[in-house]
Amino acid sequence: MRSLRILLLMAFLATFVTLPVQAQTPAPPAAVAAILNSMTPEERVGQLFIVTFNGTDTGETSQIYKLLTQYHVGGVTLLLSNDNFLATPNHDTLAQAHSLISGIQQIEWDASRNSVTGEAGEAGAEAVYVPLFIGIAQEGNGYPTDQILSGLTPLPSEMAIGATWNTELARRVGEVRGRELAALGFNLYLGPALDVLDAPAVSGGDLGTRVFGGDPFWVGEMGRAYVAGLHTGSDNELLVVAKHFPGVGGSDRLPEEEVSTVRKSIEQLKQIELAPFFAVTGNAIAPESTVDGLQVSHIRYQGFQGNIRATTRPISFDPQALSQILALPQFAAWQSAGGLIISDDLGTRAVSEFYATGGGQFSGRIAARDAFLAGNDMLYLGNIISSDTTDTFSATARTIEFFTQKYREDPAFAQRVDASVARILAVKLGLYETPTLSNVLVSDSRLDDLGSEVEVTFDVARNSATLISPDKQDLATALSLPPQANESMVFITDTLIAKQCTTCIEQPSLAMDALQQTVLKLYGPQSGNQTANFRLSSFSLQNLQALLDAQEIAYIEEDIKTAQWIIISLTDAAQGQPALISRFLRERPDLSRGKRIILFSFGAPYYFDTTTISKFTAYYALYSKQPQFVDVAARLLFQELTPAGASPVSISAVGYDLISVMSPNPDQIIPLFLDLEPVPAATDGTSTPEPTPIPLFRIGDTIAIRTGVIVDKNSHPVPDGTVVQFSIILTGEGGGILKQVDAVTTQGVAHAAFGLDKPGLLEIKVTSEPAIISEVLQLDVSQSGAVAVTVVVPELTQPIEPTPVTPVVVEEDEYISNEGYPRFSAWLIAMLFIGFSMLVGYGVGTRSANRSTAFRWTLGIALGGLAAYNYLIFGLFGIQIWLTTNGLPGVIAFIFMGELLGIVGGWFWSRK
């Protein structure tokens, strides 16, 4: 049986030499087979597992030491939540992380020197050292998506990169990330996330700024550039594992919190979710842009095979569904070339609750077995705890022991293990020329320059800043001037406090006064004196909530009342922050009326509804809360910068639909060219290249043409696959369209070819709905002789500009409001008039009758006048229109009529 497994393994390894290579070229099959044959079952099984541990202790009594020396695990992931990094006065985080990683690799090296038994346990076998994977998920944007919070360059979120629409910036960010992580000793990067957020969850719960955007093409382009940067920046010392395969962008909850179900078939997945993963596997344009692995998420699909009543298990545990996806040509070729499949974290609440559904028990070893048999090569156990264990170490140990026992008892299972271990070994050995400790450990001298490459972060911040509302053409009207030196500002900030470890000191990820301090630094007394500290005050969203809940918070209400500007900074929606801001604007209009309200979203841009957005003077999206983004926010506030980015996701509240925005811009003239072979460069040292010959065409020839770059409504190249229609038209009498050819774009350019089989004046045009105007290629083909092509550039039809209408200035009436209600001044005069009328009525009554009659007349005047005024106050039966037209005289006249009716009533009363 052993010899049969070796023969099958050799056949499997032979595929590595016949398929395209990745950034890390797998080791030769013979070297892999030699190492594998020298490994015990325990060592082979251990290579399947990536584990975690608590703290930084790696001594001989520590749990991580036992996992490395007794269970021979293949990799370790370091986490902030496990206190693997320290930040104290006595510990520099980067130096401590470097030392920890080096220590872990040293343990593995020492263990390999002390264990020199072969597969059957015989003595004298050659010692084999297999380096460990040391992994991290350092996504960017600080806490909670970064594991190391200080020391490294503060890099932006993926969505901030996506909002630049600039793949060169994505590559630069990847280079910095790869260079810094490799310098610490990491060789496994769990990222980037290649999810497509095509339908953002307005209420929150989705991945938010952890994705590049909502279009599959652009997510793929950004991901491809980012992966290339990771590889080149690390000098190919870092394995890149894209997540969350096959994509959780359609989910409305985080993958670590709950197993979500999405209704999509595999055909729909190929169009959206899988497209970015195609871009970094089978469709990768270069080895450096090819990922080394895919991390399979725990997501279920309803209607995967077309039957909407059928739902898969989580893809990470479903062998049929996962194998069907991996059998797609793009993935099959990539996996055959050595690509690894790694499970997502099996220790999450989402996994344990899925297995415990219906009152069952969660067994870590069963979940691990299911994930392995589904097609995962490596299993990321995370902080796994089974129902029958009390800690992660026990659950991890029992899982590995279970796999080892099954390896010994089940030949088919053993064969499956050997195949995955061979893939793991090939990738590990491909990282290093020779697997020695000196090649694996990284010199601490590389730590000196870490954290200094902030220029790329500022470039991303400046180019991603987006104006959400109002439109750019309306911004000058809504916000004609920046804050003036005599104006006060109140900053309300969604504060976020983090700690590197449970015993470390707190450090703000976004401090309450972060924007205030940045404004002072850039525009305060020492920098132009455009504002002063005594005119600025800062509060947190918690302070704002306390104000709304009628709790006593010093100064906040007074400062808001006296301020001319309210600047709100938002980082997330997880704690209901958008709802709180909406509540403030709804419940306290007395505090916001007449003020300039500016919102800076340092998170995702789609959490507010249309009504709330209409109350903001300006709404900007920054997408990331790193210090450089706060700096750009201050510059936007003072109008030093103009927003240059565009949202990479749809925002329904402002009518920003990504599909519409990325369609061809109708206000462009599509360039059209002959598709000529490039002239080869001179190789004889001459400085002047030969001019491109002008082609001539005759009947029977084929003319090849191409468009220039077709741009979308954001002036970026349209996505690959955009349909373009080429038409060749015979002009003149009896003419018409001779032929139409449909093509699709690649990098914004489409190609087509026509056969010239009819004489006459021919025109070639192109359209890409809704862009219908292009340059025109004209050629007069005759039966004899060849002709050249003429390019005709049409003019865009300019819309007729509407005649400007001078706005009517409505003057404010001193006594009547614009809505037609009496003001306080009108009330005062009305009361005086009623009082005067009462005196006159009483005087006339006493002279012409008696005091009793006079009293009745006076009371009638009072009641009639007050009744008439109340009629005006309540605006009954459209009286506002009459008041708006007649003003204060109308008020007096109406009250006078009420008084006359009151006198008549008093007269009838006196007759009785």
- What is the spatial order of strands in the sheet that 188-193 belongs to? 340-343, 293-296, 239-245, 188-193, 133-136, 75-77, 49-51, 379-382
Q: Cβ atoms within 10 A of the Cβ of 833, count?
A: 17
Lowest mean pLDDT among 553-562, 771-780, 849-858: 849-858
What span, in angstroms and rounded, lies between the C-alpha atoms of 799 and 666?
13
DSSP state of 26: P
Pairing between β-strand 496-499 and β-strand 506-510 as defined by DSSP bridges: antiparallel
What span, in angstroms and rounded, lies between the C-alpha atoms of 302 and 308?
6
User: Can you give the pLDDT at residue 885?
Assistant: 67
Cα–Cα distances (Å) from 726 to 13, 355, 761, 774, 809, in that order, read: 48, 55, 17, 10, 53
What b-and-e string marks burial along 112-146, b requiring 16 or more CB atoms within 10 Å of the CB? beebeeeeeeeeebeebbbbbbbbbbbbbbbbebb
Residue with tokens 């959206």: 272
Q: What is the pLDDT of residues 520-538, one digit of tens each?
A: 999 999 888 899 999 999 9
Per-residue pLDDT band for 1 (boundaries 50, 70, 90) equals very low
User: Can you give the pLDDT at residue 261?
Assistant: 84
Structure-model confidence comparison of residues 259 and 661, the more confident one = 661
Mean pLDDT of all residues in 766-789:
82
CA dihedral 84, 90, 92, 96 (to 10 degrees): -40
Tell me the residue length of the chain.
Answer: 912
The whole-chain average pLDDT of the chain stands at 86
Nearest to 378 by CA among 612, 684, 77, 137: 77
Nearest to 345 by CA among 499, 134, 190: 190
User: Can you give the pLDDT at residue 434?
Assistant: 82
- Residues with Cβ < 8 Å from 852, sequence gap 6 or more? 910
Taking a C-beta distance cutoff of 8 angstroms, is the pair 195, 252 a contact?
no
Decide if pLDDT at 2 tops 60. Answer: no
Taking a C-beta distance cutoff of 8 angstroms, is the pair 312, 300 a contact?
yes
Decide if pLDDT at 799 tops 70. Answer: no
Q: What percent of the chain has pLDDT over 90?
A: 58
Nearest to 132 by CA among 214, 72, 44: 72
Q: What is the pTM of this model?
A: 0.82
Q: Collapsing DSSP states into helix, strand and coil, what is residue 787?
A: strand
User: Can you give the pLDDT at residue 791?
Assistant: 76
User: Can you give the pLDDT at residue 11?
Assistant: 46
Q: What is the pLDDT of residues 850-866, one digit of tens each?
A: 777 777 778 888 888 78
Q: What is the pLDDT of residues 135-158, one digit of tens each?
A: 999 999 999 999 999 999 999 999
